[in-house]
């Protein structure tokens, strides 16, 4: 049974631009999510991000994130959630881009614990999804997370993380707001045409976080060397999201 909060559809004052005119097409709920961010050289990202998208920098600095979480309520509009299909872990590697005045997210990879979801997203959206063997266990506020990709390029993440504060909304103009409050993703379709896919959700309920990561080769799998420094960490317990169909740019 879905526990999706449709009340988010009227919570729009925080958005940087209005919600799209057309109907949204899918719900998702993101649970027990960790943002692990590192500063990286912008010239390396520029080599890997398609040319239609400008890198989005904060005070001249580029960032990359490894983002483990697990999803529920993954379902097309009006279609009920289905056991084994509507809930699965996901692990993203992402950076930040913009087209014109709309900042968004660009994904280098998305690993999913559902082969059906990964295959559908690759076929329909040309997103770099991979099927992976994934396991998520929670104990109190602590999340144990493991993921190993089933195909090449090999990529693995194994560790634990937990919230270490109380939820708060990021202040506009701060780094944490820049890294998290984004309302679209950018990608290219199978014909290499750029598109934007818009989303909507409430402001992120961010908390400070701690993490103990034993293995993390997610960024290396796409050719990005993470710096030998501690990442900037944030945690969010839950976020309900609606998505629209992609629009070509």
pLDDT tens per residue across span 145-175: 999 999 999 999 999 999 999 999 999 999 9
Under CATH, what is the fold of the domain 23-248?
Acetoacetate decarboxylase-like (2.40.400)
47: Cβ contacts below 8 Å, ≥ 6 apart: none
Residue 124: is its pLDDT beyond 90? yes
The 3-class SS string of the chain reads CCCCCHHHHHCCCCCCCCCCCCCCCEEEEEEEEEEEEEEECHHHHHHHCCCCCEECCECCEEEEEEEEEEEEEEEECCCCCCCCCCCEEEEEEEEEEEECCEEEEEEEEEEECCHHHHHHHHHHHCCCEEEEEEEEEEECCEEEEEEEECCCCCCEEEEEEEECCCCECCCCCCHHHHHHCCCEEEEECCCCCEEEEEEECCCCCEEEEEEEEEEECCCHHHCCCCCCCCCEEEEEEEEEEEECCCEEC
75: Cβ contacts below 8 Å, ≥ 6 apart: 2, 26, 27, 81, 82, 86
User: From residue 199, how far is each of 18, 25, 30, 138, 196 by CA, in Å?
Assistant: 11, 10, 13, 27, 10
pLDDT tens per residue across span 218-242: 999 999 999 999 999 999 999 999 9
Q: Is the bond preceding residue 224 a cis peptide, omega within 30 degrees?
A: no
- What the block records as the tokens of 26 is 């899918």
Over residues 46-67, the mean pLDDT reads: 98
Interatomic CA distance for residues 217 and 172, integer angstroms: 32
- What the block records as the tokens of 152 is 């090449």
Global pTM reads: 0.96
| 84 — pLDDT class (breaks 50, 70, 90) | low
- What the block records as the tokens of 70 is 């697990």
């Amino acid at each position: 049974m879905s526990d999706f909060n449709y009340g988010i559809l009227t919570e729009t004052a925080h958005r940087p631009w209005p919600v799209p005119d057309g109907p949204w097409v899918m719900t998702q709920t993101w649970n027990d999510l960790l943002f692990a961010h590192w500063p990286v050289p912008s010239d390396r990202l520029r080599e890997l991000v398609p040319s239609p998208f400008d890198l989005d920098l904060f005070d001249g600095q580029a960032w990359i994130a490894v983002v483990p979480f697990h999803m529920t309520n993954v379902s097309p509009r009006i279609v009920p959630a289905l056991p084994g299909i509507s809930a699965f872990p996901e692990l993203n590697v992402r950076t930040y881009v913009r087209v014109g005045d709309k900042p968004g997210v660009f994904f280098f990879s998305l690993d999913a614990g559902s082969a059906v979801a990964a295959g559908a997203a690759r076929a329909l959206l040309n997103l770099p999804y991979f099927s992976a063997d994934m396991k998520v266990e929670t104990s109190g506020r602590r999340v144990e997370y493991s993921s190993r990709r089933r195909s090449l390029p090999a990529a693995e993440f194994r560790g634990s993380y937990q919230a270490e504060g109380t939820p708060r909304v990021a202040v506009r103009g701060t780094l944490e707001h820049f890294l998290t409050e984004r309302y679209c993703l950018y990608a290219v379709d199978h014909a290499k045409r750029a598109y934007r896919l818009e989303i909507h959700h409430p402001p992120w309920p961010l908390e400070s976080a701690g993490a103990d990561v034993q293995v993390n080769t997610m960024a290396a799998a796409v050719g990005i060397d993470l710096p030998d420094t501690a990442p900037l960490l944030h945690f969010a317990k839950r976020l309900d999201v609606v998505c629209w169909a992609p629009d070509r740019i």
